[in-house]
């Protein structure tokens, strides 16, 4: 029912009442309205369903527990409740006017009490919606305070779930059964605890609600509140002597679910209430690992005191020491080491506690693990060490400690990278200088031939380039594909790096495997300042790559006007041609770069030059539809330099 249609329906109801029509008609209309509102209240919860689950996959798929007369029970028979969205939907309907004429309806209550189904639905709906006066009127007229919906939900259960404390108090005063259970075992106290209704919980406890009652899956109010992290509810239940160690059907306790959800304060409260830390006998090792990862010192200590295997492995081969080191819980690490945890145990990927602590920059943990004889050169399955990983992430202080512990400064990891190579690639200047001071091989090569200088230059890391050159890095070292630091920095336009490399006597004419030079790559990618920096007495400005292109031809094809000017100023051959006969003028005309065409003509480009197939600049421009280029070339007349004569 839309808001508009509901409003119209209510208006018609008001008209009917005021017109004084028959009691039968009024009864029919009231029943219709309540059922429609009742239905919408049940099903208008499309989004927020997280709060409906008292237990996640650990306890199985939950039962749907709502006001709907159709109750769907999952095979796991787990506990759930109506969520916040249902409560909001119900409140919205009430605010829209479903009970706006309650005073008129109250005079009818006594006359329709024979219709028990409407009365029952009215009472439960009023409790769920917090309609205190309407609920009291129904009770006054004799409505059954313990009437149950098809799924066993009572008015008290629904009011407790939604936190309507006045309604709860009224229902209790009317002798509502405080421990009545729904079909899935839910009591008012469990529902209030799950939803964090602290004041309602206190009222129910004062009414002698069974604080240890459980649903069909064994979940109690304390379990529900602990999993949802409702600290005040937990404290109220503990004060009422709730059994802190009751287990659900799968062995979970309040402490285990609070730990799994990361509710630290709830965990502290439960431990203070003497919760048994040896929670699930079969899973004590997993619990130790979980507690170590979350930093629950009290739980870790209790499990160790219970002689749980300190070196047991869990998911992905992690031990308690490994996860505590990864998470940075220094106190837990110290405790585990004192309990003889294997400091060199490896996870499935080969990671050790030291490797993960170093990777995370956990300096104090690195020192503690080294003091416990951790293998400083232990490797992950891909070959990476603590030094390589800490260098990659720029943890200078950790790098220094590892080097002081005699870590292999030149160890190679994934793809043949050393600590120096990864630090240079990531731009960590302090780490690089620290590694160089420890005699790292400045010219070590990765699997693809890259050196620290090549990667630093490619990334435009000027300070690193200077530091590496000062440490005698080979300025002309080549990758497997022949590219050098100068070619790569020129390609990406790192002018300052190019200048430093040229000053260090880098080979400006070096060619990669594909024939590309630094000048060609700078020209193609439009870096005029790099081009100017490369132009020296030794630069072969007319060098050709594999297809016969020169830097000028490449720049003209790319339309890089400033680069073309710089190359022409360096006296490049304006009429040099590719293997297919194309000159700079021909490629510029074919692409349609008018300004480049003009500059080339002005520099003496031969407008009559032809491709291997006999096409001229005018021909290719015309074929490609470059009107302005065609007009410019056609306008040229003898004795314009380079133009053909017409008969």
Task: Find the distance separating the first CA and the last CA of the chain, reported in whole Å.
Answer: 88
Domain assignment present for residue 386? The answer is no
Q: What is the pLDDT of residue 636?
A: 81
Long-range contacts at 497-501 (CB < 8 A, ≥ 24 apart): 497/457, 497/460, 497/461, 497/462, 497/465, 498/522, 498/530, 498/533, 498/534, 499/533, 500/462, 500/465, 500/466, 500/469, 501/457, 501/465, 501/475
Q: What is the pLDDT of residue 116?
A: 54
For residue 209, give both structure tokens.
């609600």
In angstroms, the CA 486 to CA 248 distance is: 68
pLDDT band at 147 (very low <50, low <70, confident <90, very high): confident
Q: Is the Cα dihedral 56, 60, 63, 64 positive or negative?
A: positive
Q: What is the pLDDT of residue 263?
A: 87
Q: Determine what percent of the chain is predicted with pLDDT higher than 90.
A: 56
Nearest to 600 by CA among 576, 628, 625: 576
Inform me whether the pLDDT recorded for 68 exceeds 90.
Answer: no
Domain assignment present for residue 171? The answer is yes
Phi, psi of 80 (to 5 degrees): -150, 170
In angstroms, the CA 624 to CA 610 distance is: 16
Least confidently predicted of 23-32, 94-103, 303-312, 370-379: 94-103
In angstroms, the CA 330 to CA 324 distance is: 8
In angstroms, the CA 70 to CA 38 distance is: 13
Inform me whether the pLDDT recorded for 174 exceeds 60.
Answer: yes
Q: Which are the contacts of 219, defined by CB distance < 8 A and separation ≥ 6?
A: 54, 55, 59, 79, 190, 248
Q: What's the rounded mean pLDDT across residues 201-211?
A: 94
Q: What's the rounded mean pLDDT across residues 121-144?
A: 87
For residue 92, give both structure tokens.
């919205």
Q: What is the pLDDT of residue 325?
A: 96
Q: What's the rounded mean pLDDT across residues 100-117?
A: 46
Higher pLDDT pick, 425 / 277: 425
* Residues across the chain: 647
For residue 194, give both structure tokens.
């799950």
Least confidently predicted of 277-281, 324-328, 603-607: 277-281
- Number of domains, the chain: 1
Q: What is the pLDDT of residue 78?
A: 27
Q: What's the rounded mean pLDDT across residues 220-224?
A: 93
Inform me whether the pLDDT recorded for 9 exceeds 70.
Answer: no
Inform me whether the pLDDT recorded for 403 exceeds 70.
Answer: yes
Domain assignment present for residue 378? The answer is no
Inform me whether the pLDDT recorded for 205 exceeds 90.
Answer: yes
Least confidently predicted of 82-96, 242-256, 435-449: 82-96
Domain assignment present for residue 415? The answer is no
Q: What is the pLDDT of residue 51?
A: 34
Averaged confidence pLDDT in the chain: 81
Q: What share of the chain is helix, strand, coil (3-state, %, to 5)?
A: 55, 0, 45
Domain assignment present for residue 240? The answer is yes
Burial 528-566 (b: 16+ CB within 10 A, else e): bbbbbbbbeeebebebbbeeebbbbbbbbbbbbbebbbb
Q: How many CB atoms lie within 10 A of CB 239?
A: 12
Predicted confidence (pLDDT) per residue in 417-436, tens digit: 999 999 999 999 999 999 99
pLDDT band at 637 (very low <50, low <70, confident <90, very high): low
Q: Determine what percent of the chain is predicted with pLDDT higher than 70.
A: 79
Q: How far is CA 94 from the centre of its chain?
A: 39
Q: What is the pLDDT of residue 1?
A: 44
Q: Which are the contacts of 452, defined by CB distance < 8 A and separation ≥ 6?
A: 418, 420, 421, 423, 424, 425, 432, 442, 444, 464, 468, 473
Q: How many CB atoms lie within 10 A of CB 71?
A: 17
Domain assignment present for residue 187? The answer is yes
Q: What is the pLDDT of residue 337?
A: 96
For residue 315, give both structure tokens.
């998911």
Q: What is the pLDDT of residue 286?
A: 81
Whether 440 contacts 409, CB under 8 Å: yes
Which residue is it, tokens 């031990």? 319
Partners of 379 in the β-ladder = 385
pLDDT band at 537 (very low <50, low <70, confident <90, very high): low
Q: Which are the contacts of 566, defined by CB distance < 8 A and separation ≥ 6?
A: 528, 531, 532, 535
Domain assignment present for residue 434? The answer is no
In CATH, what number is assigned to the domain containing residue 220?
1.25.40.20
Least confidently predicted of 13-17, 125-129, 284-288: 13-17
Q: How far is CA 548 from the centre of its chain?
A: 49
Q: What is the pLDDT of residue 539?
A: 87
pLDDT band at 294 (very low <50, low <70, confident <90, very high): confident
**By residue range, what is the domain housing residue 259?**
3-272
Domain assignment present for residue 213? The answer is yes
Q: Which are the contacts of 206, defined by CB distance < 8 A and separation ≥ 6?
A: none
Inform me whether the pLDDT recorded for 396 exceeds 70.
Answer: yes
């Amino acid at each position: 029912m839309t808001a508009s249609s509901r409003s119209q329906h209510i208006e018609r109801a008001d008209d009917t009442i005021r017109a004084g029509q028959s009691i039968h008609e009024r009864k029919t209309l009231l029943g219709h309205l309540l059922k429609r509102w009742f239905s919408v209240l049940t099903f208008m919860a499309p989004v927020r369903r997280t709060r409906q689950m008292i237990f996640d996959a650990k306890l199985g798929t939950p039962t749907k527990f709502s006001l709907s007369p159709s109750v769907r029970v999952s095979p796991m028979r787990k506990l759930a409740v109506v969520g916040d969205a249902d409560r909001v939907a119900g409140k919205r309907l009430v605010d829209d006017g479903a009970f706006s004429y309650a005073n008129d309806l109250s005079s009818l209550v006594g006359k329709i009490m024979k219709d028990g189904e409407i009365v029952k639905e009215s009472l439960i709906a009023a409790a769920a919606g917090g309609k205190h006066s309407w609920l009291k009127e129904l009770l006054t007229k004799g409505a059954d305070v313990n009437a149950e919906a098809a799924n066993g939900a009572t008015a008290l259960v629904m009011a407790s779930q939604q936190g309507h404390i006045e309604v709860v108090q009224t229902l209790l005063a009317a002798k509502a059964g405080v421990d009545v259970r729904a079909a899935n075992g839910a009591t008012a106290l469990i529902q209030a605890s799950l939803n964090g209704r602290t004041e309602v919980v206190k009222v129910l406890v004062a009414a002698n609600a069974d604080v240890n009652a459980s649903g069909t899956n064994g979940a109690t109010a304390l379990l529900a509140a602990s999993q949802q992290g409702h600290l005040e509810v937990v404290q109220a239940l503990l004060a009422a002597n709730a059994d802190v160690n009751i287990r659900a059907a799968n062995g979970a306790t309040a402490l285990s679910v609070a730990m799994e959800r990361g509710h630290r304060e709830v965990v502290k409260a439960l431990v203070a209430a003497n919760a048994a830390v040896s929670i699930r006998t079969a899973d004590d090792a997993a619990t130790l690992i979980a507690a170590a990862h979350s930093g629950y010192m009290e739980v870790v200590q209790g499990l160790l005191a219970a002689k749980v295997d300190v070196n047991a492995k869990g998911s992905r081969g992690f031990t308690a020491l490994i996860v505590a080191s990864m998470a940075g819980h220094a106190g837990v690490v110290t405790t585990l080491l004192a309990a003889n945890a294997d400091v060199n145990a490896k996870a499935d990927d080969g990671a050790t506690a030291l490797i993960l602590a170093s990777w995370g920059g956990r300096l104090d943990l690195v020192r503690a693990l080294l003091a416990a004889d951790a293998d400083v050169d232990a490797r992950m399955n891909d070959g990476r060490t603590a030094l390589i990983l800490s260098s990659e992430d720029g943890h200078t202080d950790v790098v220094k400690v590892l080097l002081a512990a005699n870590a292999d400064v030149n160890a190679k990891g994934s793809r043949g990278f050393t600590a120096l190579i990864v630090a240079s690639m990531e731009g960590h200047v302090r780490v690089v200088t620290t590694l160089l001071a420890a005699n790292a091989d400045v010219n070590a090569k990765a699997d693809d031939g890259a050196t620290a200088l090549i990667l630093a230059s490619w990334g435009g890391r000027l300070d690193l380039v200077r530091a590496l050159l000062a440490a005698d890095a080979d300025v002309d070292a080549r990758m497997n594909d022949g590219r050098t630091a100068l070619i790569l920095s020129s390609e990406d336009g790192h002018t300052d790096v190019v200048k430093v490399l040229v000053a260090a006597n880098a080979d400006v004419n070096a060619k990669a495997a594909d024939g590309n030079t630094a000048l060609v790559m700078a020209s193609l990618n439009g870096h005029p300042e790099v081009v100017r920096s490369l132009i020296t007495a030794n630069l072969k400005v007319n060098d050709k790559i594999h297809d016969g292109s020169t830097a000028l031809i490449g720049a003209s094809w790319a339309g890089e006007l400033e680069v073309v000017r710089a190359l022409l100023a360096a006296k490049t051959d304006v009429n040099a041609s590719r293997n297919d006969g194309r000159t700079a003028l021909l490629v510029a005309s074919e692409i349609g770069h008018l300004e480049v065409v003009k500059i080339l003509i002005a520099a003496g480009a031969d407008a009559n030059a032809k491709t291997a197939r006999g096409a001229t600049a005018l021909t290719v421009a015309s074929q490609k539809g470059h009107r302005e280029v065609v007009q410019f070339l056609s306008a040229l007349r003898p004795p314009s330099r380079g133009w053909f004569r017409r008969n």
